[in-house]
Amino acid sequence: YISLFTFSMLMLVMANNLMQLFFGWEAVGLVSYLLIGFWFRKPTAIHANLKAFLVNRVGDFGFLLGIAAVLMYTGSLHYCDIFARAGALTQIELSPFGTPVTAATLACICLFIGAMGKSAQFPLHVWLPDAMEGPTPVSALIHAATMVAAGVFLVARVFFLLTPEVLLAMIFIGSITAFLGAFSALTQTDIKKVLAYSTISQLGLMMLSMGIGAYETGILHLFTHAFFKAGLFLCAGAILHSLETWQHQNQVHWDAQDMFQMGGLMRHLPVVFVVYIFCAAALVGIPLTAGFLSKDDILAHSFAWATIQGGQWAWAVPMVVLATIFLTALYMGRQFCLIFLGDFAYRDKLHHENPLQEGGWLIKTPLIVLSILSLWVVISWDPLDAQTGWLLHGLDVSLNTFLGEGYQLALFERTHEFHWTAIGLALLLTINGFGLAFWLWRNQEFVKGKQLLHSAALHQLSQEGFYVNQGIFKLWDFVRHLSFNTTFAEKYISTTLGKVWVFLKNLSYKAFYADQAYQSTMSPTLMYLAQLSHRLDKSGLNGLVVGLAKAVVIFAQFVMWLDQYIVDGLVYVAAWLTQAVGRQVRNPMNGKVQNYWLWALSLFILGLWWLMQ
């Protein structure tokens, strides 16, 4: 499977036309489906790969429509030909839903739908967290570093064709995806699902970067993200390998992926601990890492875009990026504390004869390599500016046909103006996010069965609704001592704030209820359509087929009757007539010569008479 995936991904990346890219696109989707369901005896794995297959088919349908539209209006699928004829697409106006749009906009919207499915953009993001049912190396390679970035790669390939309307849609979708993924990662308990939602968030940032016109920055973040996110997933895999091996040796069973059943692994898995620090630092954007260079560049470009666009609504984009940076530091700090700090949940079973051990160098070597590739030197010798690095210098600026060179130049200049502002704000939010996480989740103590006895962690607080009700009652008790009658306000405010907190907690854990929304809206609709199709097939199409079959049988029986009684009857009549005439003709031929002479003389006389007449 991995070799097939490598071949398919190379086909996708090396393609110089949309058709070859589509074949590679479908091939990597097939391999993803097969690898998500690799543990085919697990019902959750089978459900996950079916879900990934169906959601990606929605995106692929849009991608195929986009390819058809490009071929129809340009006559070619080669990138060079499309680029040469991109301007002509704006001259063609269509009204597919009563709203006039250009052919370029319609084609690019369809292509972007394909990118949304493959790169897990809202609302087609629901398949990626469930895809973590596959083996962890698959999650690291396919669902973090390569295949999920194919949608961003597609957008980069056709960046010259994207119209302002499509770019604005990309900004909107990318912003929602970035914030949704980061917010949803805050309350997850599964170690791999935290990283899955983190991947969704980072893919949203890449798409947002493409939308604001920062083509090179989006590619840069795609490149840097591959290394540190693959490193984090492999760290998770190394942790799970060690825990499950120890479980088997000690005959202890619990959900090894539950972070609230870990703790204190810093002392037992030192190499994984160090690698995790490097990769997590790159993800949140700590200086001297590659992730810092790309994320700072995205933030600076978002500020520059907001100043160029003007208007208060434009500043929502950099605000979303800032919120995502803060939430990223918060959930990664949370994961770090839950996994490595505190004490191991099953420390009473640890002993010298059977300790919790790291994997061999076959496991640790890739981790070390990926942690080194997460440093700034891979991108640029300047740890604070990616613009001086080899990647951005070697990457030609892709001018958008519809934005023009003036916009790209203005964006570049404004980005430099906000360079240090972006660094300062990002670093401040990152430090605050880590500090808040460390304050909330340090000294975490665990016991078996996911029951927390003594904890300063947010999980303990969340179990009690952050003690909102108790806190509000204490506050109002104090105010009541000042002779205020606040019985109604006390109950109303405490209840309201408690409900708000529970709602926000559930909103994060359920990832904005996207799956539930699909199940409550799309699933009943699809089930109804499936049942309707079944009834149509059974009573309509199936009845038509059965009726045609019966008609064919009746016609065959009619033909058989014609053959038996008409055709065969005519043949039999002809044979009987021939036989009867033969008998009559044969009677005179009785062997008497005088009779022959009599017949011959009679015929001769009859002939002479006829001639005389």
d(CA 447, CA 455): 11
Neighbours of 83 (CB within 10 A): 15
Q: Shortest CA distance to 199 belongs to which of 296, 127, 112, 263?
A: 127
Q: What is the structure's pLDDT at 413?
A: 84
Could you give the count of Cα atoms lying within 13 Å of 253 in the half-sphere of its Cβ? 1
List the beta bridge partners of residue 102. Answer: 93
Cis before residue 123, ω within 30 degrees of 0?
yes
Closest C-alpha to 123, from 179, 196, 176: 176
Reported pTM: 0.79
Q: Is the dihedral of CA 363, 224, 290, 184 positive or negative?
A: negative
Would you state the pLDDT for residue 511?
Answer: 61
Please report, for the chain, the start and end positions of each structural domain, with discontinuous segments joined by +: 1-161, 172-371+406-444, 456-513
Residue 607 burial (C-beta neighbours within 10 Å; 0-12, 13-18, 19+): exposed
- CA distances 235 to 130, 173, 288, 502, Å, are 19, 30, 21, 32
Structure tokens at 149: 């970035």
* Average pLDDT for the chain: 82
What is the C-alpha to C-alpha distance for residues 184 and 198, in angstroms, rounded to an integer?
9
Look up residue 499 and give its two tokens: 């409900």
Angle at which helices 290-309 and 404-417 cross, to 10°: 120
pLDDT value, residue 237: 92
344: left (phi over 0), alpha (psi -120 to 50) or beta: beta
Identify the pLDDT of residue 447. 40
Contact indicator for 24, 9 with CB cutoff of 8 Å: yes
Crossing angle (nearest 10°) for helices 290-309 and 215-250: 140
Regions of the chain with pLDDT less than 50: 446-473, 476, 480, 482-490
Per-residue pLDDT, 67: 94
Dihedral angle of Cα 379, 380, 382, 387, to the nearest 10 degrees? -100
User: If you count DSSP H runs as helices and E runs as strands, how many of each does the chain have, helices first?
Assistant: 27, 2
Q: 19, 82 in Cβ contact below 8 A?
A: no
Own/partner long-range contacts of 264-268 (Cβ < 8 Å, ≥24 apart): 264/340, 264/341, 264/342, 264/343, 264/344, 264/347, 265/239, 265/339, 265/340, 265/344, 265/356, 266/340, 266/341, 268/242, 268/344, 268/355, 268/356, 268/357, 268/358
Tokens 């907190």: give the residue.
501
Which H/E stretch holds residue 102? strand 101-102
Dist CA 362 CA 560 (whole Å): 77
Q: What is the pLDDT of residue 475?
A: 52
Name the phi and psi angles at 401, rounded to 5.
Answer: -60, -35
Q: Which two tokens stand for residue 196?
A: 């899955």
Separation CA 446–CA 441 (nearest Å) = 12
Neighbouring residues of 454: CB distance < 8 A, sequence distance ≥ 6? 445
Residue-level pLDDT at 323: 95
CB contact burial 325-350 (16+ within 10 A = b; e otherwise): bbbbbbbbbbbbbbbbbbebbbeebe
From first CA to last CA, the distance across the chain in angstroms is: 103
101: part of which helix (H) or strand (E)?
strand 101-102
> What does the alpha-carbon distance between residue 429 and residue 286 come to, in Å, rounded to a whole number?
11
pLDDT digits (tens, 9 = 90+) for 490-510: 455 556 666 666 666 666 666
Task: Residue 40: count other Cβ atoms within 10 Å of its Cβ.
Answer: 10
Q: Which residue has the tokens 């839950």?
A: 338
Share of the chain above pLDDT 70, in %: 83
How far is Cα 602 from Cα 67, in angstroms, rounded to an integer? 95
Under 8 Å CB-to-CB from 19, ≥6 apart: which residues?
Answer: 67, 77
